[in-house]
Amino acid sequence: MSEAKEQGACACAGHPDDSGRRSMMTGALALAALAPLAAVSGGAQAQAAAPAATRSPKPEPGDKLAFMIGPKAGKEVKPADIEVGKPPVLAYPMDPATGKVLISKANLLTVVRLKPADLKSTSARNAADGIVVFSSLCTHYGCPITTLHPSQTQIVCNCHGSVFDAANRGAVTTGPATRRLAMLPVTIKDGALVVSGKFDGPLGPPTT
């Protein structure tokens, strides 16, 4: 796809130019951050092989969330950090027993807060006080989902303009993506945002 076509696809999503540029920069930073963070994670795994070997590398019930980038990178995401109307937060799961951030592209999460009244039952059952968490991997090409749509109930991939309904279990509302985002159930426990289940669907683009 040419640059002009890609820009047209993003414009179709209906988000303001300034917001789109900021979100595209966030997405680029997220992609750039994956490689060095993964290298750091690999070193930590070598030093703590025993704890890492006893659990799945994917999010598990009881995990907390940690910021992927920004001044709080690697620190716990608290419910108060996620505000209605604000851009999604990119995060990774964090093992509560070791404090280890589980860094991998497959674990990248998009965390956003909606008004509880806007949530349909499909999302409400996996939400915590309006906070919903999805796999950040766009199901079209695997880019990170970084933008809140002007509707404030949908989230946008700025690579090619796919839009997903965060209020309805990540359903596709605008292509080119054809498959919904996988949702990660969360709850609030002792003042912390905690994973309460496993991903409810496949991650990223279809493989066949």
Instruction: Give the β-pairing of 131-135 and 147-148.
Output: unpaired
Round to whole Å and give the CA distance between 80 and 18. Answer: 25
pLDDT bracket for residue 141 (50, 70, 90): confident
Beta-bridged to residue 64, according to DSSP, are 94, 194
* Whether 189 contacts 178, CB under 8 Å: no
Residue 124 scores a pLDDT above 70: yes
* Percent of residues, the chain, with pLDDT higher than 90: 64
**What is residue 208's predicted lDDT score, i.e. its pLDDT?**
62
For 102, what's the count of Cα atoms within 13 Å in the CB-facing half-sphere?
Answer: 22
Residue 129 scores a pLDDT above 50: yes
Q: Which of 45-54, 138-147, 186-195 has the lowest mean pLDDT?
A: 45-54
pLDDT digits (tens, 9 = 90+) for 30-43: 544 444 444 334 44
**What is residue 186's predicted lDDT score, i.e. its pLDDT?**
97
**What is residue 53's predicted lDDT score, i.e. its pLDDT?**
52
**What is residue 90's predicted lDDT score, i.e. its pLDDT?**
96
**What is residue 5's predicted lDDT score, i.e. its pLDDT?**
37
Q: Which tokens sit at 77?
A: 């995401």
SS3 56: coil
Give residues with Cβ within 8 angstroms of 186, minimum separation 6.
Answer: 65, 126, 127, 128, 131, 132, 133, 193, 194, 195, 196
Residue 204 scores a pLDDT above 70: yes
Q: Would you give the DSSP letter of residue 167?
A: G
Residue 51 scores a pLDDT above 50: no
The chain-wide mean pLDDT, for the chain, equals 81
How many Cβ atoms from other residues are within 10 Å of residue 97's Cβ? 11
Round to whole Å and give the CA distance between 26 and 69. Answer: 9
| Strand positions, DSSP E, the chain | 64-67, 89-94, 109-113, 131-135, 147-148, 154-156, 163-165, 171-174, 186-189, 192-195
Q: Which is nearest to 95 in space by CA: 137, 127, 48, 146?
A: 48
pLDDT bracket for residue 86 (50, 70, 90): very high
**What is residue 72's predicted lDDT score, i.e. its pLDDT?**
93
* Mean per-residue pLDDT, 53-79: 90
